[in-house]
Amino acid sequence: MKININASYTDFYELTMSQVYFLEKRNEKAIFDYYFRNHPFEGGYTVFAGLQDALAIINNFTFPEETISYLKDCGFNSEFLKYLENFSFTGNIYAMKEGEIVFPDTPILIVEAPIIEAQIIETVLLNILNYQSLIATKARRIRQEANDKILIDMGFRRGHATGALFGSKAAIIGGFDATSNVFAAKKFDLPLSGTMAHSFVQSYENEIDAFREYAKIHPNSSTFLVDTYNTLASGVPNAIQVAHEMEEKGYKLQAVRLDSGDLAYLSKQTRKMLDGSNLQYVKIVASNQLDEWVIKSLKEQSAPIDIYGIGTNLITGKPDASLDGVYKLSEYNGIPKMKFSDNIIKISTPCKKQVFRVFDNEEGFYGADAIALFEEEYVNKIYHPFDIRKKNDIRNKKQERLLELVMSNKEILVKKKSIFDIAKYSEKRLSLLHLEYKRFQNPHIYKVGLSEDLKQIRDTLILKNS
């Protein structure tokens, strides 16, 4: 699907810097790394999402005539604007597979292009990848706790404007089953799901009339919202009565939905009432400020909930709201480059790189990533990026190259996958991560290290600039 985002979708400083490069005739090949510094939600893993969208956007990233006119009014040089009129991205992009399980300080995507091209696509890359990876990670955490329960994305109205389009898609990558977002479902071929609002029930003189009318129009897909007035005294009894009326006509009520109150207590009482009325097949949907922590609590209380509708806390990535993904120059005109900082974790790593996933040969799980020079074929030892005392021997262990060429000279080189294929891949990759890294509280820290050759180049640059 073509996403209608053009090259004006950028930060102002990308253009002011690019104008200097252009006028000073400095447009040699540059290499930038995309990575993040910390897992969201104090977790032990992150799901990489948004790659297909980012590639599709970059492949059609041009400056329309009206944008050129606007930039002229902003005072940009006429020769530079002529360059922008014919702008397109011609470089190379290397990336991990979408859905991959990724870790801090590890290059997830690498851009290799003339520096103006690499600079102009920075903002859109960060915007798409940071947000979708955040939401996919939140969704995967919720899926991890919900096990095989049905999960529905209901966050559209609480999303950050049109960002909810990508959020609904990322939720499916993270393991959700369906969305209430019609626009996203149509664009990305996602399953749709939804129930009714309290206003629908309130608009009728009687609650039971609302249920009857809804069932008449939607006999094969009815879920009744039972907490508008009194869940146990009114909502559930009325739902039961209409469910029996539906049975007489050859139909079945799908579910009842609880959207307020003590969900553990109400779901248990609702289940008793439904089962006592021979409506064992009617499922219970729960919503209202749910997330992985609330679902964990409901499970611990043995709440008989079949379907969870997750809204605000999913689509906004609560409580973190953003992934701290960054885009750093690692090479320019063949010369290694790195960012220095008094804060050691903000020091970047130079050179064009490859990432190797290191497997435990005994169990088949993985437990380390090796960041190496791009031309390295195998890594014998990895060194902690910031602690010189720590190193790890990884000889004789299976190593898998993670970065592949996905775009080159205006051509996307990887086959487009369905959202559910990406979700299945992500689930499979997460299954190869030891449980201690998946804990919600105090997860084990995954090992990420530098190869000896890369570390030597980095340390030489540090000494040179000290």
DSSP state of 433: B
> How much is the mean pLDDT over the chain?
95
Report the relative pairing of strands 29-36 and 325-332 from DSSP bridges: antiparallel
Q: How many CB atoms lie within 10 A of CB 204?
A: 14
Q: Which of 188-197, 258-267, 356-365 has the lowest mean pLDDT?
A: 356-365
Model pLDDT for residues 231-247, shown as the tens digit of each residue:
999 999 999 999 999 99
Q: Where in the chain is the domain with CATH 3.20.140.10?
A: 12-135+320-464
The pLDDT value recorded for residue 343 is: 72
Chain centroid, CA 5 distance in Å:
19
The answer to whether the CB of 319 falls within 8 A of the CB of 330 is no
The pLDDT value recorded for residue 3 is: 56
The answer to whether the CB of 67 falls within 8 A of the CB of 76 is no
Q: Which of 4-8, 96-100, 258-262, 373-377 has the lowest mean pLDDT?
A: 4-8
Strands (E), 194-258: 223-225, 255-258
The Cα–Cα gap between 93 and 125 comes to 11
**Shortest CA distance to 81 belongs to which of 90, 91, 69, 92?**
69
The answer to whether the CB of 28 falls within 8 A of the CB of 333 is yes
The pLDDT value recorded for residue 188 is: 92
| pTM, rounded to two decimals | 0.95
Q: In the CATH hierarchy, which top-level class contains the domain 12-135+320-464?
A: alpha beta
The Cα–Cα gap between 195 and 193 comes to 7
Model pLDDT for residues 415-447, shown as the tens digit of each residue:
999 999 999 999 999 999 999 999 999 999 999
**Shortest CA distance to 305 belongs to which of 240, 243, 255, 235?**
255
- Can you name the residues that pair with 366 across neighbouring β-strands? 359, 433
Could you please report the per-residue DSSP string of 2-45?
-----TTSS-HHHHHHHHHHHHTT---EEEEEEEESS-GGG-S-
Tokens of 109: 């995507």
Give me the amino acid identity at 13.
Y
The pLDDT value recorded for residue 258 is: 98
> pLDDT confidence of 345, banded at 50, 70, 90?
confident
pLDDT for residue 448 is more than 60: yes
The pLDDT value recorded for residue 367 is: 86
What SS3 state is found at 390? coil
Share of the chain above pLDDT 70, in %: 99
Torsion angle in degrees (nearest 10) through CA of 399, 405, 406, 409: 180
Tokens of 68: 């050129």
Model pLDDT for residues 111-136, shown as the tens digit of each residue:
999 999 999 999 999 999 999 999 99
Distances, alpha carbon 134 to alpha carbons 139, 313, 316, 325, in Å: 9, 12, 9, 10
What SS3 state is found at 312? helix
Q: Where in the chain is the domain with CATH 3.20.20.70?
A: 195-305
The Cα–Cα gap between 328 and 298 comes to 43
Model pLDDT for residues 23-52, shown as the tens digit of each residue:
999 999 999 999 999 999 999 999 999 999
Model pLDDT for residues 64-89, shown as the tens digit of each residue:
999 999 999 999 999 999 999 999 99
Share of the chain above pLDDT 90, in %: 90
The Cα–Cα gap between 309 and 202 comes to 21
pLDDT for residue 230 is more than 70: yes
Tokens of 306: 């079949």
Model pLDDT for residues 317-343, shown as the tens digit of each residue:
999 989 999 999 999 999 999 988 777
- Just give the CATH number of 195-305: 3.20.20.70
What SS3 state is found at 171? helix
> pLDDT confidence of 201, banded at 50, 70, 90?
very high
